[in-house]
Amino acid sequence: MIAKTLLASASALLLSVSPTTLAAESPTDPQIAHIAYTAGLLDVHAGEQALRQAADPAVRQFAQTMIRDHKAVNQQAIALLKKLGLRPEPNATSEKLTSQARDTAAHLGSLTGRSCDKAYIRNEVAFHRQVNEALSNSLIPNARNAQLKSLLENGLALFQAHQSHAEHLLSQLK
Amino acid sequence: MGRFQSLATAIAGAALLAPPPAGATPRGHVVVIANMKFGPVPPHLKAGDTIIWINKDIIRHTATAKDQTFHVDLPPGGSGKTVVPGPGRHAFYCVYHPTMTGLLSASK
């Protein structure tokens, strides 16, 4: 149930959140950590939903990559937060991500075949674009801890590659 | 001391960059992957040389030739080895992150 809720949230985020709403004004490190972790977790769940529904082999491989990569980054984040003694702080932004994603997951759940494949990838483009803008414009500039900032910067490079991959994939889907 | 060291470094660097003599035994080279990019590919590769791919990222990558002449899976923080294929230009990429690309050129 929790997974379904998060999954729903992840997908809804993709279409309905504008870049400026993805991060609070001057978020603190605990808030930044929570936002980044939540975004990763939501995309893992979106990928898991895609694996249950998607048909196109390239789309399925993309979903597997999203699951593997975001899990790896989040594991790294957990290890860093533990080392720093930093407790992620739930906040309005991460709650919004979670609640808004629910609708999109429900929408994806109603689709099958190619329309589902395209909707998932289209959402992935929007999701990564929005998260990348939030990372660039708010989360990274406001991160105070150097190690957290570095992890976010590495995450940005990865998520930019994901965005480009998704954009290319979307252009290939008929 | 400083001048001698600079000269020695320059000579050593020139030796590394110079093409190997004809009939030389296969050599080893290193390509480092970091921050979602393939690092520089050494020049003057010869067919039969070995490339060690070092993945410094926290996610899995591959080094895969588009012409299917080599492929190696690279776990996070791990490494793998491939042999430089026949002479020519070989474009390569990561199958999981296709925007990561590179090109190696090999001679006989």
Interchain pair B96, A65: CB under 8 A: yes
Per the structure, the complete domain to which residue A162 belongs is given by 2-14+28-173
Flag whether B16 is in a domain.
no
Domain-located, residue A76: yes
Would you call B100 and A72 a contact, using CB atoms and an 8 Å cutoff?
Answer: no
Residues of chain A contacting residue B36, judged by C-beta atoms under 8 Å apart: 157-158, 160-161
Phi, psi angles (nearest 5°) of residue B43: -80, 170
Range of the domain at B55: 28-106
Task: Provide the number of CB pairs (under 8 Å) joining chain A to chain B.
Answer: 37
Sign of CA pseudo-dihedral B38, B42, B45, B48:
negative
The count of structural domains within chain B is 1
Q: Does residue B84 lie within any of the structural domains?
A: yes
Model confidence at B94: pLDDT above 90: yes
* DSSP structural state of residue B86: S
Does B99 contact A161 at a Cβ distance shorter than 8 Å? Answer: yes
Residue A168 lies in a domain: yes
Number of domains comprising chain A: 1
In a domain, A22, yes or no: no
Whether residue B85 lies inside any domain: the answer is: yes
CA neighbor of A36 nearest in space, from A69, A74, A2: A74
Q: Which of A114, A136, A113, A128 lies closest to A15, judged by CA?
A: A128
The verdict on residue B21 lying in a domain is no
Q: What is the DSSP letter of A19?
A: G
CATH number, domain containing residue A167: 1.20.1260.10
Examine residue B41 and state whether it is found in any structural domain, yes or no: yes
Give the side-chain half-sphere CA count within 13 A for B19: 11
pLDDT digits (tens, 9 = 90+) for A125-171: 999 998 999 999 999 999 999 999 999 999 999 999 999 999 999 99
Query: A52's torsion region: left (phi>0), alpha (psi -120 to 50) or beta?
Result: alpha
- pTM (predicted TM-score): 0.82
What would the mean pLDDT of A64-76 be, rounded to a whole number?
Answer: 97
Is A23 contained in some domain? no
For residue A48, being part of any structural domain is answered with yes
The arithmetic mean of pLDDT across residues B25-37, rounded, is: 94
Q: What is the CATH number of the domain that holds B96?
A: 2.60.40.420
Contact A72 B35 (CB under 8 A): no
pLDDT at A13: 39
* From A76, A162, A168, residue closest to B58, measured CB to CB: A76
Strand (E) positions, chain B? 28-34, 37-38, 45-46, 50-55, 61-65, 71-74, 79-83, 88-93, 101-107
- The H or E element that residue A131 is part of is helix A113-134
